[in-house]
Structure 1
Amino acid sequence: MRILVTGGAGFIGSHFVRSFADQDTLTVLDKLTYAGNLANLTPAEGRFTFVHGDICDAELLKAVVPGHDAVVNFAAETHVDRSIAAADAFVRSNVLGVQTLMRACLDAGTPRVVHVSTDEVYGSIDTGSWDESAPLAPNSPYAAAKAGGDLIALAYARTHGLPVSITRCGNNYGPYQYPEKVVPLFVTNLLDGLNVPLYGDGGNVRDWIHVDDHCRAVRLVVEHGRAGEVYHIAGTTELTNLELTDRLLRALNAPWRRVDRVPDRKGHDRRYSLTDAKIRAIGHTPRIGFERGLAETVEWYAANRPWWEPLKRSAPKGRGELRHQPR
């Protein structure tokens, strides 16, 4: 299958490319913002075509989109802290970018489109889990922008008949994740002998999924998902941030005195949780348990300082610096 992967140099998109470069003919389109990194694609070198560009560039998309059997959209601004400080880039990429891409796919007659989204569009849930019919109630500017993009994609499905499906997933972890996110931030700080920041009371609950399970599920939706439908990709483990911190400290033999309690984030969602019966019905089953996945992730960062050290040295300042904790 010929697949255009937008945002394919980011954390999740690059894993998709590395996973399916031998199976599919892939084109990667990426703007290479601070979190887009060609080094993420080195293991797949020579097995994909790269285009440097922005999904907001309609003329570029007019040239790139035609000829593909499917488009998978990972391109997005994703860091909540940055969206709280400055939401402009999030609205541009996550709303306008989606509209521009959907229009290009419609004009090109693309047979399949999958738009990758997040559980954060639902807001916060105290008990139980959301199914795909839950109303959108985002709280952060990031989540609101993602919800806007989702609605644009669904509007193209319902108004124009564009064969687009949406996936929504919980918190991802794994190799090559930019070290502003909680797992790589904590791991790399602890490896460097630095403290780690824990928001508020640490009681916020997140559902964790290994990036490999996420990407396999997205690829399944490319083949078997129905147009106009939303598919949840649930994680394997729900943890409070306190519980996650404890597991990371133990994995790196670090004491609790290495944890700095910091004021809670504005509008911090308390809990996310998804049901995933719909995607399991088309054949998805997570393969990587959290204990194994976390251990392998810690080992990867310990063995790959040349990848993450330059990122921490050159991190943009003033909008979600690498001392902050995500999501």
Structure 2
Amino acid sequence: MAFIDSLQSIIPIALFYSAPLIFTALGGVISERSGVVNIGLEGLMVMGAFVGIVFNLTFADVFGAATPWISIIAAAVVGGIFALLHAVASITFRADQVVSGVAINFLAVGLGVFLTKQWYGKGQTDMVEEPFYSTSVPILSDIPIIGEMLFARAYYTSYLAILLAFVGWFVLYKTTFGLRLRSVGEHPMAADTNGINVYKMRYIAVILSGVLGGLGGAVFALTIAFNFSGSTIVGQGFMALAAVIFGKWHPLGALGAALFFGFAQSLSVSSLPILDNVPDVYLTIAPYLLTILALAGFIGRAEAPKASGTPYVKGNR
């Protein structure tokens, strides 16, 4: 019974810590499946968090209870636009994709902090008045044992993230669009020969990764942080990138990895009796340590798309 009580207390926390990672990791999967490495997931989350918080603070009185939802939509749009910088650099100008992604990370933090200081006169924004709130799903939360674990004190954004993972799997593996996107990441020349526009597919994939990264950053800010500063997104994007690799570049694999990393993060704020005597510093570093151990144990068996990280030059063999 104590074990069930422990699960009921930690699973809702693990779910809402996982949601931002799931969104962002899905973006990473889509981008890398098209052949474009996106190290800039961290920066995309930063921009999403910044836009989500600022939009919420600015328009809370206008949209009321709908403000958080409209905020994450705005963050997703800006994330897509911001990812366009990475697409132009890495696809059109064939710049090194890792360097471009790192530049996106630095640019996002610098721009976010600069605008925050300009608009709020300090290093962080005000606290949002209309964040997402945890809720219980009617009827489902009344199911014995399972209802308390999965449908009580949860966020609708967590369910949306899990749903999108399955949608992502369906699109990538059951639709013509997904087949074309995967083909440009595996054999771009063969895809081009068959009439698929490699550049167009890669642009779409990178922009979608920006949309999902911005969504992940906004959800993190509006469910966990409640404001924005230069340290709001600390390693979350890199953890999402690790989930992409740990999940073997598969949407459902990334979902499982993100849930695992979310669970690791939830340990630092959980009330599990078994962790009472564990110093807080160990619980804080646990997610990052588990990320390293997971990659160290599995990266040798994970194979990235064959053309991932390689710019495509039309006509070259």
TM-score, structure 1 normalization: 0.26
Greater RCO (Cα-Cα under 8 Å, separation 6 or more): 2
Q: Which structure shows the bigger proportion of residues in strand conformation?
A: 1
Q: Which structure shows the bigger proportion of residues in helix conformation?
A: 2
